[in-house]
Structure 1
Amino acid sequence: MRRIRTGFGVKAIYVGLMVALLGATAVRPALAGPSWSQIMKTFKPGWDPNSANVCIRGDISCVEAVVAEMKRRNKPLMDSCDHNAVFSLLYLRTTEEYLRTVKSNPNYFSNTPFVNHEDALFALYYFRAFDNYKAGRMSKVPSAWKIAFESARDGSTTGGGDLLLGVSAHIQRDLPYVLDSIGAPRQPNGKDDHDKVNQILQRVQKTAIEEAARRLDPTIDDTQIQGTTLDDDGFLQIVKNWREEGWQNAVLLSTQREVTTSKIETNATAQATTFATTNRADATAREKRDSWCALHHDDR
């Protein structure tokens, strides 16, 4: 029987354990604040700087929790090449840029905690629609989102189509309700802060879409909309126009709720139907997209 040497062997085991532990820590850093699931137990619309809930009072730790939750949700979509991964990735990169912006300049907005609160509620609208769809609670899924999720499930639209469906549903359908529920139009400098978000979108749009094309579907950045492509400045202007319309609808919701709600839902559904129809993918296109994703979804 061979005797086990101690000395070097014990040291090697110790070093190996430390590397493993430190490596795990590096891969999964702990959040400085509460997790998204913890926050959601007491979260509700309405900014309150004195709330015990970090997202109601709009702490930076709230945005960090939003990003962490987006990463958690995005990974299995990317790993499985789920067609919902396109919008999920774009939304994640946009929120990461938002976090970087407000971390480096806490006074970027006139009321950054208020906009942080909006950021969390806006994300919740997407998470809730997605979770309700996956759970089969179709009566709770807005029509525009239902079209987007069904298109992703069936593989009936291109990667660019999936991106347009997600962006359109989230901005044209969700945004006005979010703004109205937190009273954004009644906030001092609320419109100025709303418009400053466009500068963040300007910084992240091209790189995020290029990444989606590189990792998920190489045709994404060639997708046409109103005479421009998704990676062009023209698409950003379209998004700005949608955001402006979302603001105006939020203003109207406070005085003309029934009419404005009907207008929002009808418009968002019609837009989703158009995008699903004009960005159809046949079996060959689906196969090419999925094959590309299988090879490249882990690329950076």
Structure 2
Amino acid sequence: MKLITSINYISDINSTVFLASIKADEVLYYKYQQDKPYSLLILVDYNHNELVLEFSGKILLDKYSQLINRETIKDSLNNVNKLNICRLDIEAILQDAEVVKCDVTKDIETDINVINNTIRQNLTNYRKWTVKQYNSGIVLENVVSTPRYKKRLVIYNKGKELEKVNNINFIDSLTAKNEILSYFKGKVRFELNINTKQQIRQLLNIPNNNIQNVLNATANPILTVIDEAVKYEPQQQKAQTLRDYEHVLLLKDCDYDMVRVEAKVRALSSKNTSITRMMQPYKELYKRLQDNKTNTIDIRALVA
């Protein structure tokens, strides 16, 4: 999350840990940045009279599994104060700050491989949307030339990501690291990167970028992107020929009940027709459809 607020909401800046930019004996800005155990940027910009704060969800430490929301945002800012490098006026920031970048995330216990397979096979438009490999998961993004229209949804195995070497410092900083690792085991993270103020307003359906509006938004932007990018029709995915399609229509008409299918075939066939032979393509197609169902998933239902 990236916040911009008044420069008046920071004090007691420890100049020994902040990088200072000075021109003609005048401080232009103070900057503090760290990557471990969590990402944090503090920029005190005297030119624009702004305080810029940018941090990742890991700033929550032992509350990391709760994500940054209206209940935990104070914990995020309190953890900055606990560094004893400056003093933030938390209440003022929570009233006046603007959110200019944020990630909307949701953690779900599901099979990452099935998610990947479903999205790759069911894009609404292969020219407008691309799927790229991302570690154990994928990046789903639209093809646009203007950043304000860019939509980027990262889907990956969060448990495996936490076990990587670059997260050792974060895990070691936790007092409840076993609980955190246990919580994320088997979890798939859906992470939508929203990088412009306009997109924040549009995807969260809010009138402005005030932090309270963002934290209290009820829209589901991940679902919005899934609806736009993925079309899921599981029962027809394997209908590869016209004859298959006709068979699918009969299966669907009988609610995929093979007893009802056989009864329908008997009713529509001549007495001399071999029912065993007539039923064979329906049985084969039904098996393919069932196999397809095990390799795809209703993503919309997961993120709704």
TM range (shorter): under 0.3
Q: Which has the higher contact order (CA 8 A, sep 6+)?
A: 1
**Which structure shows the higher helix fraction?**
1
**Which structure shows the higher strand fraction?**
2
Tell which structure's C-alpha radius of gyration is larger: 2
Provide the TM-score with structure 1 as the length reference: 0.23
